[in-house]
């Protein structure tokens, strides 16, 4: 015997509600990312205006160590790749594999943050503080804002791991995985801009 009409309608209504909820969540997150683009666009524009105002202080070529910056760049790029692996395992229904790749992603993210903190500490130690020049003020603001976003991403990742451990690969957790995926890859794209526009151009130009 088939299901009663009431239950068929209820099931269809639940599926439709879940679809609308998922669509609304993803749309809302895209709007958030667009607002973040505006923030970083403003910071890049500010750096473009102030990035050559050294106030008789050190220039980018005097301060930046490209070897360390390249290493931190690879850490973040590798984290994007490993997050992609976690999404692939999620699509296969492999909870353990998803968790393992998320942990690896988090370790790469923490390594990136550690290198950035080391760089800031070194610059501060030699007197290249945000107060030293307009160039350094705009530099710390742009790079520090990106670092703050990566920190939030790492905290979010830990929370997601806890949710996966408790509830598994539920539709809600899969949706959270995809939102964090967009956020993480977005930060990679922003960092490529920072590396090219701030570090590479600053040393070579």
Q: What is the pTM of this model?
A: 0.87
> Confidence band (pLDDT; 50, 70, 90) for 122?
very high
Question: Has residue 6 got a pLDDT over 50?
Answer: no
Q: Mind listing the pLDDT tens digit for each residue in 83-112?
A: 999 999 999 999 999 999 999 999 999 999
Q: How many residues does the chain have?
A: 205
Judge whether residue 8 has pLDDT over 80: no
Range from 25-39, 50-64, 113-127 that averages highest in pLDDT? 113-127
Q: Is the pLDDT of residue 11 over 50?
A: no
For residue 203, name the pLDDT band (cuts at 50, 70, 90). confident
pLDDT of residue 57: 83
Determine the Cα–Cα distance for residues 180 and 160; give it in Å rounded to an integer: 9
Mean pLDDT of the chain, nearest integer: 90
Looking at residue 95, its pLDDT comes to 97
Mean pLDDT on 68-84: 96
Q: Where are the domains of the chain?
A: 17-204
Per-residue confidence band for 20, with pLDDT thresholds at 50, 70 and 90: low
Homologous superfamily assigned to 17-204: Cytochrome c oxidase, subunit III, four-helix bundle (1.20.120.80)
């Amino acid at each position: 015997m088939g299901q009663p009409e009431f239950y068929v309608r209820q099931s269809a209504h639940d599926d439709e509600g879940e679809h609308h909820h998922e669509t609304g969540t993803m749309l809302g997150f895209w709007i958030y990312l667009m607002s973040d683009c505006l923030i970083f666009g403003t910071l890049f524009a500010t750096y473009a205006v102030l990035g050559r105002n050294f106030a008789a202080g050190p220039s980018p070529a005097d301060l930046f160590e490209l070897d360390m910056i390249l290493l931190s760049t690879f850490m973040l790029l590798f984290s994007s790749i490993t997050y992609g692996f976690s999404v692939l395992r999620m699509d296969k229904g492999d909870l353990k594999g998803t968790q393992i790749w998320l942990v690896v992603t988090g370790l790469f993210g923490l390594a990136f943050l550690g290198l950035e903190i080391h760089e800031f500490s070194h610059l501060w130690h030699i007197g290249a503080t945000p107060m030293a020049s307009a160039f350094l003020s705009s530099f710390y603001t742009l790079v520090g804002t990106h670092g703050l976003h990566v920190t939030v991403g790492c905290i979010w990742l830990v929370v997601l791991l806890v949710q996966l451990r408790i509830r598994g690969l539920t539709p809600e957790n899969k949706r959270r995985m995809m939102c964090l995926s967009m956020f993480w890859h977005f930060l990679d794209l922003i960092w490529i801009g920072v590396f090219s526009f701030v570090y590479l151009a600053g040393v070579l130009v």
